Amino acid sequence: MDWKRDRIKFGVVALVVVVGAAIWAVQRGTGDTPAELVEEKIEGFPKGIERSAIQSLEIKRPNEEAIRLEKRGEEWWLSAPVEAKADRLSVDTALDKLAGLELESVASRKREKHALLEVDEAHGIHVVARGADKVLADLWIGATRSGNTAVRVNGQDATGMVKGSIRYAFSRDLRDWRDRTILAIEPEEVKEVEWKGSNGYFRFIRPLVEPSLPPDADAGGTPEKTLGDWTIAQVSYVPQPEEGKDAGPPKPPVPRNTIEHFQPSKVRTAVSIIARLRAADFAPSNLTPEEAGINADSPRVTLTTRDGQVAVLRLGKSTKEGDDQFYLMREGEQTIYIISKYHSQRIHPTVSEFEAPPSGSSSNTSKENSEKGEFSTVPRKVEPDEVPPEIMRQLEAQLRERH
């Protein structure tokens, strides 16, 4: 071997070994160690938790109150810091992550690395899962590194890396652990809707009609009638002056009792939104209905279903001056919800909410084109108020889970 001739080759090999060792050392210190390089175990690390065995969860983020959830029968409830029904999707996600814990590697066995890996009290999320009579997991959830998550067993110095990103499942605001369902009614079952407020009085009904298909001769019996489309039962409102039109001398307001360009599909859409209404947030527990602007004179909407179920919602004032969120209560409940401006306009509509678009408008043109079999290729601009903020948060959460 000619040392002088091959010295460059030897130098390159040595450099590769040194760099590789340095990278491995850094990864081991930050939790990026590939799993196949580490076969060590961590004492007390939970393995194979049965999802159905978890009966309660305690979750504490840094500098925040602990959130406690418990299973009562087949449902999950919040027991602290408030008493409320829990959001099933949020609970299911947390339970799935605990049941699927899989130790990929050991990131560090040193206490000094806890802050770096965010599994210390200042940065970590403390999660305790209990069964009927024992603790199933007592963990600190830390940072995500290379798609895996740092996790430390409480009381241990060692920090492991578990497969996948799991921190988001426990790093939720209190409102995201609460069931935000305000109404859960099938819109198809609503037979009557009534709005009452400063914008007017509007009452619509769906009359019973004969089924569209002829009865089956072999089935026997009398075919059941179905609910038809929305019709006007009673309305009373004062029309607003048209913009840009000279109204002339002031005239006394004259209430109207019909809707000239009534469009049943507008009622159908509004009922669908209200029947499945969800809150954007919740008012502070010490806020009273009076402080929220909710009283007997507040705008209200009433839904009546075919089987006689009645749901009444009352709209309050905005949460603060110039805000786009409003207080809302369901009659018979103590909870004060917060809803978006988009939803508040469905609770307290003007007559225009039930009218067909003006002739020549983009919506009307689209309808005419669709009837002719022609469709515009120009995308319609979506205004911010058309996408409720709570829906945006749900979409963002789903995207985070996928990645």
Residues 239 and 352: their CA atoms lie apart, in Å, by 9
With a cut of 70, say whether residue 229 has pLDDT above it. Answer: yes
Give the model's pLDDT for residue 15. 59
Furthest-apart CA pair in the chain: how many Å?
111
With a cut of 60, say whether residue 51 has pLDDT above it. Answer: yes
Count Cβ atoms below 10 Å from residue 53 Cβ, excluding itself.
13
Sign of the CA dihedral running 244, 246, 249, 255: negative
Instruction: Name residue, tokens 């418990």.
Output: 70
Whether omega before 250 lies within 30 degrees of 0, making that bond cis, reads no
Of 104-118, 263-277, 314-328, the one with minimum mean pLDDT is 314-328
The secondary structure element, H or E, covering residue 175 is helix 174-177
With a cut of 80, say whether residue 348 has pLDDT above it. Answer: yes
pTM over 0.85, yes/no = no
Q: Are 43 and 159 in contact (CB under 8 A)?
A: no
Q: Which residues contact residue 164 at a Cβ distance below 8 angstroms, ignoring those fewer than 6 apart? A: 100, 147, 148, 149
Between residues 252 and 255, which one has the greater pLDDT?
255
Count Cβ atoms below 10 Å from residue 274 Cβ, excluding itself.
22
Comparing C-alpha atoms, which of 272, 301, 274, 348 is closest to residue 203? 301
The secondary structure element, H or E, covering residue 24 is helix 3-30
pLDDT in tens, 111-170: 999 999 999 999 999 999 999 999 999 999 999 999 999 999 999 999 999 999 999 999
* Mean pLDDT of the chain, nearest integer: 84
